[in-house]
Amino acid sequence: MTRQSVDITLICIAAAVLFAAFAASALSGEVFFKYFGAEDSVIENATAILLAICGVALWARALSARSSFSRGAVILGVLYGLVYIWAGGEEISWGQRLLDYESPEFFQENNDQQEFTFHNLVVGGVKLDELIFGPVLSYVILSYLIVLPLVWPRVAWVQRLVRRMIIPVPRPYHAAVALAVTLIIPILDESRRWEVYECIFALLSLAIFLHPANPINDYGTTHDPMIG
């Protein structure tokens, strides 16, 4: 199975998830909530697993770049992977409900859900998920998914920056999918619709990392361990 076929398969799965979400919502809000919106639902657990796999894919990409990129660039690639694995852990509260352990006292007092998660912390009366992990992160992600694929082929300094920071660039059809889902998701009349968006984002991220517009071997690497 080629990288491109895996990429297309992941996008098809994302489309199926979106269709299933609308179908479940049409049946009843209870059906949607059970399978898509509830804590520890199939979708939430799938999102966590996919984010962790994204992290591993980024690690493999970074390690395969050791002969062609600086040590700093490789370290950046490893850090990107850590961010995705961290996001996967946060998605399921680091297994707190699965393993049935109590939140440390600090999180009980400073987390708006009293869970062992960092993105729900409240600092100085400000919720981090609303200040940083809400609109700011959304703009960063959408800029990466939609804007970067448009400017990267055309702007030399963006190409240099992307190479220096070992950033996997989405392909134009990845950008089109991201834009389409961003426009469609608000139509879903469910308060927990963003759980679906997060799952699709994880699927799309994995598709990009496995089949980016700028594969590492384009820079002279003779073997990419992600290919096998």
pLDDT along the chain (228 residues), means of 10: 95 98 95 91 94 96 90 94 92 80 81 77 74 74 94 96 95 97 95 94 97 81 33
Q: How far is CA 59 from CA 77, 78, 83, in A?
A: 6, 5, 11
Residue type present at position 208: I
pLDDT in tens, 166-185: 999 999 999 999 999 999 99
Look at residue 79 and tell me if it is in a domain: yes
CA distance 36 to 46: 10
Report pTM.
Answer: 0.87
Residue 206: the pLDDT is 98
Residue 226: the pLDDT is 31
Look at residue 177 and tell me if it is in a domain: yes
Q: Which of 191, 153, 185, 186 lies closest to 169, judged by CA?
A: 153
The 10 Å Cβ neighbour count of residue 180 is: 12
Total domains present in the chain = 1
Angle (deg, nearest 10), helices 3-27 and 193-210: 170
Residue 61: both structure tokens together: 């990409």
Domain range for 82 is 3-96+131-218
Q: Tell me the HSE value of 44 on the side-chain side, using a 13 A CA sphere.
A: 22
Residue 39: the pLDDT is 84
Residue 193: the pLDDT is 93
Residue 227: the pLDDT is 31
Look at residue 114 and tell me if it is in a domain: no
Residue 219: the pLDDT is 61
